[in-house]
Each structure stands twice: as C-alpha cells, then as structure tokens.
Structure 1
Amino acid sequence: MIPHVQAQLLAGKKGLIVGIANDQSIAWGCARAFRALGAELAVTYLNDRARPHVEPLARELAAPIVMPLDVAVPGQMEAVFDRIEKDWGKIDFLVHSIAYAPKDTLQGRVVDVPRDGFLTTMEISCWSFIRMAHLAEPLMKNGGTLFTMTYYGSQMVVKNYNVMGVAKAALESAVRYLAAELGPKGIRVHAISPGPLATRAASGIPQFDELLNKAQQTAPARSLVSIDDVGMATAFLAHDAARLITGETLYIDGGYHIID
C-alpha cells in the first residue's frame, strides 16, 4: 500500500501515465504514488476492451484526461499530447510502462526471431518511448522527467526473456541518449528496473513463477518488490530534489541485480 503522505510534494505537477491495464499494473502503482503526492494525472487505456478496467481506476485518481492509446495506431499518440496541450498547456512528467512482443517472437530463440516480430517488438517497446519524448519535449517548458520501464534481462541473459531483453537493452540506451539531448532543457530521463512482478505482461513469460521464487530467495532484501515500491521510487525522481539525477537505470529489486 502507498504510505500515508502528508506533504503534497508534487502539487501543481501534471503528468501522463501510459500502461495501466488493471490494478496489478506497474503503471497503476506509479499513478497511485504520483497522485498521493499531489500530482494531477492524465491516463490512457489500450483499447475498448481495456477501457472498462481502466476507467474506474482513472476515476479513483480523479484524472481529468482519459484517452485511448495504442501506440501501433497512427495518430493516437499525437492526439493524446494535443489534448494535454489544449487542456494543460504543459506536462511535467511522463511514465511509459508498455512493452510487447508477439507470442511466437517472445517464446522463440533470439537467433530465430522473424523480421516482422522483431520490428513490432522494437516499435512498441522502444520506439514508442522515443516518440513520446519527442511529443513531450515542447510541453516541458520548465523542464520535466520522462520514465520508462525496463528489466534486468536487458543486461544479463534471463531464461525465457529472449527478444524482450534485446528490446530493453535498446530502450536503456535510448534513455541515455535522450537524457544527454534533453538535459540542457532541464528534462531528465530515467529507466526504472523493477524486480520480477506478477503483472499481466509477465504472464506471457514461460516459467515466470520460477523467476519470482529465485528473486525472493536470492535478493539481499529477501522480498519481492511491489508496484507501490516502484511507484514511490519513481515519483521521488520527478521531484525537484532529484533535479541532478538523470540518464539512470534505477533498480528497484531488493538488491537482486548485485548478486551473481
């Protein structure tokens, strides 16, 4: 659960949360944390099938902007940012918490990945963040923070993570380049790397329960991370106190990534 927060440390900040699918989503943990700290939120849902699951959560957040966003549909990203510009005139932070690989592409060997599956994986999991950064830049008139979600499988070979590890490695590299390019405008960019979480997205990874058990038994904290742990750490980085932290991959995994 989000701890009780007295100070509205992000009051006056406005941000976009992309990737809420249900109340188990990492994006939901981030949204709850940002809202608890006083930020105003815009929320997107993937499609009409997802809408009934996301709209009640958006109401809980008192989100004034709730829109569809499938990054594979031309024009939908632009429509979201156009609405933000029209209603708010600015944006202070963005949380990009989406990734996708076709099932046959994800579950096969990297060496066998088909071209179309690879391109789809990279477009949705990596390029969409770059594009959102491009659209957010002119709205971050007084600086801001861009976040995306990654995983340890970008740096080490994790069984069954396969082509998603390749996509996340590209995403982390993009974070560094974006941080360098946008830093002079006061825009910070981070990759957030949680330990394994039982989200809907993770359900597509074979033998995921084994990965959870290994993480809990091996991590120095001997504990699995929660979506609220991820949310509060992410929200901290959006605060002005973190203004000189950028280009980082922040591990929120109980220390799992330091263990051989």
Structure 2
Amino acid sequence: MMWSTVFTIILFSGAAVGRTLHGGRIVNGNNTRIENYPFLVQVDVFQSYGDWWPSCSANILKVNWLLSAAHCFEGRDYKPEHRRIRAGTTFKGTGGVIRYVDYDIKHPDYRVAARYDADINVVKLLEPLLYSPVIQKATINVAGNHLPNNIPVIYAGWGRTDFFGGQPYILQHVSVYTVDNAMCAEYYRKHNRSDYTVTPNMICAGLWEEGGKDACTGDSGGPLYTGGVVVGIVSWGHLCAEPFNPGVATDVASYTDWIVKTAR
C-alpha cells in the first residue's frame, strides 16, 4: 500500500515558515479555534470517582487511528477502556464528538535508550470518526526529514498556562523556535536530573535564553507543528517556559515508517 493512501506525509522544506515531567500546557499563548488544528483531539482519562478528565492530546492519522505520546497511555491502573477522545471542538471538556479507545501500540523502543526516548504510540478507536471542517487527518513529517535549528514551530493544546496555573477552557497555541539538539542535551545533562535525557530522536523547542513560551502539563501527545505538518509530539520538559529549558517533543521523522506500517 502506498503511503499516500494511508494518511498524508509531506516533506518539510527547511524554509522558515509533558509533557510528563512538568506536564503539558501552553504558556503565554493565544486563543485559537479547532478549525486551525482540525487534526487535534483531547484525550480523557477515566477517574476512580467515575468522571472523565482531559489529560493529554492526540493527532488524527485516519478516521480510526490517532498519533499521541506513549506516556499518555500507561500507568498503574491503565486500561484502554479508561481512555476516550473528544474531537471537533475548540472548548475543553465540552462539544464535539466522543470516541472510545480500542487499544494502543507503543513504539518498541519506548523507554529503552532513555526514559522518554520513543515516547510515541498509535491509538485505535472503537468507532471511526467522520471527517468535517473541524475533524481532519494530520499531515506528518516524512521519514528522516529532521528540522534545522531556529525554525519557527507551534505548540497547540488545552494544557496549563503556567506550571502552577489553571487549565484554559479555549484551545491555545504559541509560536517558539527549534533549539540545537546537542546544546539542549548538554544543558539538560548538566543542570537537571538524570531522567532528563535528550536523545537524537527528540526536538527541543522554545525560547532558549529568555523562556516565557512553551507547552506544559496537559499538552502531552499534542503537536509540534510547522508549515502545515506535525513534526513532533509533545513529550516532556523541566517545569514550563524556563530559560535554557525548552520543551522536548518526540521527533516524528524518526518514526514515520513505523507509524505508517503500524496504523493500518
């Protein structure tokens, strides 16, 4: 089967166009609408007291497949039936359509080289989505097409607006820049705990010296996005929006072939 019949993959031209450890929210972003990111969905977790709570995001690959962060689909009490998604809405926890998760497949290298290396999975839905102006498949980066440094990229999601802050009701987005991988890795190695390991399969993105803009808690699994392409999956970082501590996303280009092969 040709890639183009599965879902859209395009080459990023290179022209300018936790997140777990700290969580995942958008810091110092702006309100936006789902029409601008129709591939983006909320991921809800079933709580022990019987309610659902938005905790992560995911990206639509096909009507019945999503792309997200592996760490959003694990935990002591994790079961696929304890995850559902909400698609086609600008607003957190309301509107749109709900679909339940059948199963997820984590990349086989997840947590092998480092705690958050290969933090990526594909998620199968029990019932397919229906495409509309607010529900569309994502375009993902082509295999091996890694971004250069200092390229403007966008985080989008419903995560916290600062590390100790609340979560927004309206979808947020913010523009930052890619950061040199080796420089990012060295800084994290020297100044943070051993579980903050940046590998070549990750993209660092933020405002390197000044901070102030970032993804944060609740944005995990959502997109790092540029030029109409999902190039990264929000994964982790130290706190949120701090100078010299950019957010870290899984580099989609390291896993495109696996995504295409697995999400059939």
> Which structure shows the bigger proportion of residues in strand conformation?
2
Who wins on radius of gyration, i.e. which is larger?
1
